[in-house]
Amino acid sequence: MEDGGVEDFDLIRRVETLGRPRVLVLGDLILDRYVWGDAERISQEAPVPLLRADRREHRLGGAASVATMLKSLEAEVDLIAVVGADIEAEVAKRILAEMSIGDRYLIPIEGRPTTLKERYIGRAQDRHPQQMIRVDYEDRTPVSSSVEMSLAAHLTEAARSADIILVSDYDKGVCTPALLNFLIDLARTRRVPVIVDPIRGGNYAKYRGVTAITPNRLEAQLATGTPIRDPSDAILAGNALVHRLNLEAAIVTLDRDGMAVCRRDGVAAIHPTRPRQVYDITGAGDMVLAVIGLCLADGASYDEAAALGNVAGGLEVEKIGVALLSRGELLDDLLAHRHAESPKRLDRNAFLAEIARRKSSGKKIVFTNGCFDLLHVGHVRLLRQASKLGDVLVVGLNSDTSVQMLKGPSRPLQSQDDRAEVLASLEYVDLVVVFDEETPEALIRAIVPDVLVKGGDYRPDQVVGREIVEEAGGELVLIPLVEGRSTSHLVKRSAELGLVAHAPQAAPPAPKLVSRPAALRESVPE
């Protein structure tokens, strides 16, 4: 067994480069109705909470949920399912139309209700709303042979342009053994992978020959008879499913324990997940199937697909009901997690790659720079105000060599590593990068920030990099300094008090330094 080992960096790159594959979804369409209200008191008629309803909302579940999630993630989607000849079917079609998903492959059946799950959500004492009860309206009998034939005809047509086929089987009668057998043969002929989110039960024979399945912990236990108490048990169950059903892979979802990926070649890996605040598990399985399918259709490995499915499923359980995610939300979560666990100080190449990622996700970059030899209140206030001007505050730090060129051989008082660590410890500083040049012009030209910040003791025409930023549509912001606060003042005051030896005056600078304009001697307050 291997550790999953898929870095967030790889997942960020995967999301950034995702194409728009065409995904065909087959399965049980479900309409979810949410009735929201305040649970203010106990009913006088019975010892049950009384819900004062104030809002009703409809969302799509089951196979339709998978389809809308894929569409929100910018895939091209076709949906094959059955509905009733009822008002619920019209509601479902309207929601699909709003998502630009066609209903030409939906088969209406007289006398059979559209599957409806009605949830009552109560709010109490300003706490997070909670589901109180769910009421289901459904017919779970297998569809007739004539409906099977119609579904098969739709599959034959839609599979011609599909990059992958996802099966969302909620055991509501659509995914019959005969239809799945037809689908498996069709997909094998067309060389299209089939990924199945299976039912909860012991007999998985109807899935034999699909490419992969994504059972959860309980489903895998029931299908294999293997109790899953920890991830290693999931590997045993996943391997059993791969061999029994002739699969390419089994991906067992393990809620708080992440996912186990078991492949036909015998390689298995556990992909742990991050702790989340779980409000509602509704839709998590659909989201995992959608993201895994999207990734596999785009050429990702099973490990990449599972790791990204972990992230998406985790975001889903943090929301009430079936919710949609965008690629931007996935990127934001990956970036936030990566930067929470990664050092803020990066080398030049890694720094520039990081800036490019932040920009691609729409973040506003703020840049300032300086020596920051002895961090004082003037520095702190400038950095705090600068951080409010955008999403990412970048601090360019003069290296030891650069400080000596600017200040003379007696400076800096602290090494660049120490200064960088102190800056990185500030919560409002996002990234720290060290530069060796006398000015940050080359660095500013490389990143082109949206906002360039300088201390208020400079005129705009003295600011290095101003033209670069403004020509790109950015702005210069001058922040007033705190009077009497500077590193030089602190050094002088300490010497006067006998706290440090008075630093010798630096030898006169070389002629080229004397001739530089004042703005080039230092780019922000020291």
CA distance 356 to 364: 11
b/e string for 335-372 if b means 16 or more Cβ within 10 A? Answer: beebbeeeebbbeeeebeebbebbbebebebbbbbbbb
Residues 8, 280, 286, 298: which is the catalytic one?
Answer: 286
Q: In what order do the strands lie in the sheet with 29-42?
A: 49-61, 29-42, 115-123, 130-137
CA distance 156 to 202: 29
pLDDT band for 126, please (50, 70, 90 cuts). low
Specify the range with the lowest mean pLDDT, choosing from 102-116, 349-363, 381-395, 469-483.
349-363
Better-scored residue on pLDDT, 526 or 328? 328
72 and 95 Cβ atoms separated by less than 8 Å: no
Both tokens of 295, joined, read 């990734």
Query: Apex CA 342: angle with CA 340 and CA 345, to 5°?
Result: 115
Instruction: Please give the span between the terminal C-alpha atoms of the chain, in angstroms, as a whole number.
Output: 53
- 241, amino acid identity: L
Report which of 258, 280, 306, 317 is spatially closest to residue 117, judged by C-alpha positions: 280
The ranges of the chain annotated as CATH 3.40.50.620 are 343-521
Tokens 């785009």, located at residue: 298
CA distances from 2 to 231, 262, 273, 479 (A): 11, 10, 15, 52
| Structure confidence at residue 511 (pLDDT) | 39
Q: What is the pLDDT of residues 504-513, one digit of tens each?
A: 444 444 433 3
Specify the range with the lowest mean pLDDT, choosing from 22-31, 231-240, 341-350.
341-350
| Structure confidence at residue 368 (pLDDT) | 95
Q: Beta partners for 116?
A: 31, 137
186 and 155 Cβ atoms separated by less than 8 Å: yes
CA distance 317 to 283: 8
Beta strands 49-61; 29-42: pairing state: antiparallel
Q: Rounded mean pLDDT of 154-179?
A: 97
Residue range 343-521 in CATH 3.40.50.300: no
The ranges of the chain annotated as CATH 3.40.1190.20 are 2-340
Q: Is 234 left (phi over 0), alpha (psi -120 to 50) or beta?
A: alpha
| Structure confidence at residue 501 (pLDDT) | 47
CA distance 232 to 179: 34
| Structure confidence at residue 311 (pLDDT) | 87
| Structure confidence at residue 374 (pLDDT) | 80
| Structure confidence at residue 520 (pLDDT) | 38
pLDDT band for 318, please (50, 70, 90 cuts). low
Percent helix, strand and coil across the chain, each to the nearest 5: 40, 25, 35
| Structure confidence at residue 389 (pLDDT) | 95
Express as a percent the part of the chain with pLDDT over 70.
Answer: 85
| Structure confidence at residue 409 (pLDDT) | 85
Beta strands 164-168; 22-27: pairing state: parallel
SS3 of residue 461 by DSSP: helix
Residue 431: pLDDT over 80: yes
In CATH, the architecture of 2-340 is: 3-Layer(aba) Sandwich (3.40)
Residue 337: pLDDT over 80: no
| Structure confidence at residue 525 (pLDDT) | 46
Q: What is the pLDDT of residues 45-97, one digit of tens each?
A: 998 889 999 999 999 999 999 999 999 999 999 999 999 999 999 999 999 99
Better-scored residue on pLDDT, 518 or 128? 128
Its pTM surpasses 0.75: no
Q: What is the pLDDT of residues 244-271, one digit of tens each?
A: 999 999 999 988 888 899 999 999 998 8
Q: What is the mean pLDDT of the chain?
A: 85
Q: What is the pLDDT of residues 271-288, one digit of tens each?
A: 887 655 544 455 678 989
Active site residue 286: yes
Contacts with 26 (C-beta within 8 Å, 6 or more apart), sequence order:
63, 80, 81, 151, 155, 165, 166, 167, 168, 174, 175, 183
Q: Rounded mean pLDDT of 300-320?
A: 82
Q: What is the pLDDT of residues 150-164, one digit of tens each?
A: 999 999 999 999 999
CA distance 20 to 405: 52
Both tokens of 464, joined, read 């290095």
| Structure confidence at residue 517 (pLDDT) | 40
Contacts with 196 (C-beta within 8 Å, 6 or more apart), sequence order:
166, 167, 169, 207, 210, 212, 213, 214
CA distance 233 to 245: 18
Both tokens of 460, joined, read 């705009």
CA distance 488 to 179: 80
Residue 131: pLDDT over 80: yes
pLDDT band for 523, please (50, 70, 90 cuts). very low
Better-scored residue on pLDDT, 408 or 33? 33
